[in-house]
Chain A
């Protein structure tokens, strides 16, 4: 059974810092991995989607990497801003048994201080 863990659970940094959020998954047989942002009381905003055949994806100040062999993904946020404050979730979509469901990580609550 796939388990997804995120470290750290919470992070508070001053504006301008570069950040690394970590996501670990136990089953490397994944179809893809996706990073989301969730603001308090709101739904999910998809940030980056990495297919199993890819190593990384980039969008603006965000870069996500995927290493299936070690069961890890990282989300790199460059030059953090107060507007980046939110909870970041990673989710892996399994490949076994034809399943399409996403398993979500525990989340990292990020606060960027002005």
Chain B
């Protein structure tokens, strides 16, 4: 069954600290994996996309990794800010298909 699982479900960290969010998938055939950030009361916004050949990609303080062999991805947030408080959603696209498989998200709260 094609699934995307994210961990932890929720996370609380202090401002300035780093954190890592995990995404494991069993989607096949795999095309790409995208991380979205969803602020409270807003729609998700794309942070980054990882394709099969990419291991690491950075977008400011956000760094995504992909291990296609183990079917795992992570999103690392460096020097967290209050504005990083949001839900982070991992989405995997199946190859040659419109089909997207969504994880249920990790809710991050950054406290001052």
Partners in one complex: no
**Interface residues in chain B, defined as those with a beta carbon under 8 Å from any beta carbon in chain A:** none
